[in-house]
Amino acid sequence: MTRLQIILLTFVTLFIIPFYGVSAQSPQAQDENLIVSAVTLYDAGDFDGAAKILRPIIERNPKCDAAYYYLALCSLAKGDAELGEAYFREAVAIDPGNFWYRHRLAALYAATKRPELAISIYEKLLKDFPKKSDLYFELVELYVAQGENDKALKTLDEIETVFGKTESITVYRFNLLRRMNRAEEAFKSLEEYNQEYTSPYVLTALADWQISMYNDSTALRYYDEALEAAPDYAPALLGKAETLRMTRKYNDYFKVLDKFVSDPFTPVEGKSDYLMAIIQRTDPKFMRSFMSQMDSVVVRTLQVHPSDSTAMNLAGVWYYSTDRRDEAGEWFRRNAETYSESLAASASYVEYLMYAEKWDELSAAGRSAFERFPEETAFLEMASVGDFNLKRYDSVLAICDKVLEIAPADTSKTLRAWSTKGDIYYKLGDSKKAYKAYDKALKINPDNVYVLNNYAYYLSEGRKKLKKAYEMSKKVVEVEPDNATYLDTFGWILFLQGKALEAKPFFKKAMLYGGKDSAVIMDHYAEVLYALKEYDLAFVYWNLAKKKNVDGEIPDLDARVAVRKKEMKK
């Protein structure tokens, strides 16, 4: 909400507008008392009651500007901006010299997106009340909103002429000039301020500018000046640390970084954001070379913020990224248990368990998190990942049914549920139920490539409805032409239709996009090559497939290849 909207909506009613020209006659004195009563009701939130008192006043006395003013406030409080504006305009017409009437009307214009009318009033108010500092800043905001940046800059100059230089004015001008793509002028304004005053913010901004121009030594000098003025000023510490890191002065870097994370008054979120960026974006060689120093930084952060959720999550990410999964899991678990009401903490722990392939714990933790967050069915779905890997297929189906029961209108969830049911039913050998589940999924989204591919592939395995399988798979490779799994499905269907020559290009392309990592894909390609009488190449891919088939994904591979070799000898 802008300053102008706050001014409009947060009405100060602890004062009574002076009544100029009111005589001591009894009816007018009674109106004054009635207005006081109306204001009391307004302050208590009884806007209808206040308006009920005020309306008869303006009927008796159409020149009672205060009654119009408070009727305007009541109307706005009830959401009727149009009527409020009409009352404000009446009050201004009766007493055009009243500051508050004009100011509130200008604020209303601004809030109802008529800045040109608001600006007109503000410009006149400044002529009449040149010492009211708030007017200048409010006018600057209106100019900026209108894109009249030069007028905004001129108004800032006027503020300095009347009230003197301040850090806030300098910073506002700096940010405005940068938005206007006048960076050199923006930083020059900071340098001019810095010649007269000392400001950690201004010095740090100047240092940041020098960094952008690759003037590292000058930047460090500005950072040091800022830290002389405010030794714990976090932006300067962080800026100096980054400069040292980029210039590979790592010993000094970790000293400054330790000081940055050691300050208890620097928000832990800022520390975590910076360290997470370092962990996730820095060259892994840096992490390996300075793991002990980073360990110390992370531990120090935890010492300063021992019970903070952000710090514990940071520790989990750090230890996981450096292949210390047990330590990582301990911090993710501790965070989730300490902040059991935190969705983010529970999600991080469950996600960790999935990537760490701790299937029993994932199954339990996913269900536990769902009990705490029953609207988040993703936790149930994560639990089903654990169940699937534990071959608890009935539990996976039960979770799918639960999701369908509690989120029937959420198409993304129901699509995943029906798709998963199709996969599980097929795995259990019930192709009829599998195909029905896939049909339901495709009713939700007929273009879902995952469902289309699996459906087509399983049809091809059964050597049934190959034409239907072909149409579905063709649709998939048209959408994702560089996916090895999808290319394999389409090529295999073509092969089963007796089109080995047409299938070959799709397998060749699959090899370029990861197909050599799959025993199944290479086995299929070998079959195609064998059918085309490219025997030598076929056995090359069969041998590669055998090396990848260590988990027995293709149980008959060795026997089938042996048969092919015998056929070759005949």
Q: With contact defined as beta carbons under 8 Å apart, do 488 and 515 qualify? A: yes
Q: State the average pLDDT over residues 155-169.
A: 84
Q: At a CB cut-off of 8 Å and minimum separation 6, what does 179 contact?
A: 149
Q: Does domain 464-570 have CATH number 1.25.40.10?
A: yes
b/e 366-381 (16+ beta carbons within 10 angstroms → b): bbbbbeeeeeebbbbb
**pLDDT for residue 519:** 95
Residue 397, classed as helix, strand or coil, is helix
Residues 455-464 have pLDDT tens digits of 999 999 988 8
- Span 198-266 CATH architecture: Alpha Horseshoe (1.25)
The whole model's pTM is what? 0.71
Q: pLDDT digits over 308-350, tens only? A: 999 999 999 999 999 999 999 999 999 999 999 999 999 999 9
- pLDDT tens digit string along 433-444? 999 999 999 999
Name the pLDDT band for 285 (thresholds 50, 70, 90).
Answer: confident
Question: What pLDDT sits at residue 557?
Answer: 93
In order, the DSSP letters of 419-466 are HHHHHHHHHTT-HHHHHHHHHHHHHH-TT-HHHHHHHHHHHHHTT--H
- What pLDDT sits at residue 319? 96
Question: How far is CA 517 from each of CA 262, 456, 484, 485, rounded to the nearest angstrom?
Answer: 47, 22, 10, 11
Exposure b/e, 227-241, CB count within 10 A at least 16 = b: beebeebbbbbbbbb
Amino acid making up residue 261 = V
Which among 71, 43, 41 has a CA at the least distance from the CA of 56?
71
User: In whole angstroms, how far apart are CA 490 and each of 62, 182, 313, 331, 456?
Assistant: 84, 57, 44, 45, 8
Give the separation between CA 14 and CA 7, rounded to whole angstroms. Answer: 15
Q: What is the pLDDT of residues 118-130, one digit of tens each?
A: 889 988 988 888 8
**pLDDT score at 288:** 87
> What is the spatial distance between Cα 426 and Cα 455, in angstroms, rounded to a whole number?
10
Determine the pLDDT at residue 168. Answer: 84
Establish how many alpha carbons lie within 13 A of residue 64's alpha carbon, considering only the half-sphere containing its beta carbon.
25
pLDDT digits (tens, 9 = 90+) for 390-419: 999 999 999 999 999 999 999 999 999 999
Q: Where in the chain is the domain with CATH 1.25.40.10?
A: 198-266, 464-570
Length of the chain: 570
Share of the chain above pLDDT 70, in %: 95
Q: Which of 7-11, 77-81, 141-145, 408-412 has the lowest mean pLDDT?
A: 7-11
Statement: residue 24 has pLDDT above 70 = no
Confidence of residue 480 (pLDDT cuts 50, 70, 90): very high
Which one, of 531, 558, 563, 566, lies nearest residue 542 by Cα?
558
The secondary structure of 186-254 as a DSSP string is HHHHHHHHHHH---HHHHHHHHHHHHHTT-HHHHHHHHHHHHHH-TT-HHHHHHHHHHHHHTT-HHHHH
Give the mean model confidence (pLDDT) for residues 512-536.
95
Q: 473 near 456, Cβ under 8 Å? A: yes
- Confidence label for 12 from pLDDT (cuts 50, 70 and 90): very low
Q: 26: pLDDT confidence band, cut at 50, 70 and 90?
A: low
Mean pLDDT in the chain?
A: 90
Query: Of 8, 19, 25, 122, which Cα lies nearest the Cα of 75?
Result: 8
Report CA-CA distances (Å) from 178 to 158, 173, 174, 372.
20, 9, 6, 47
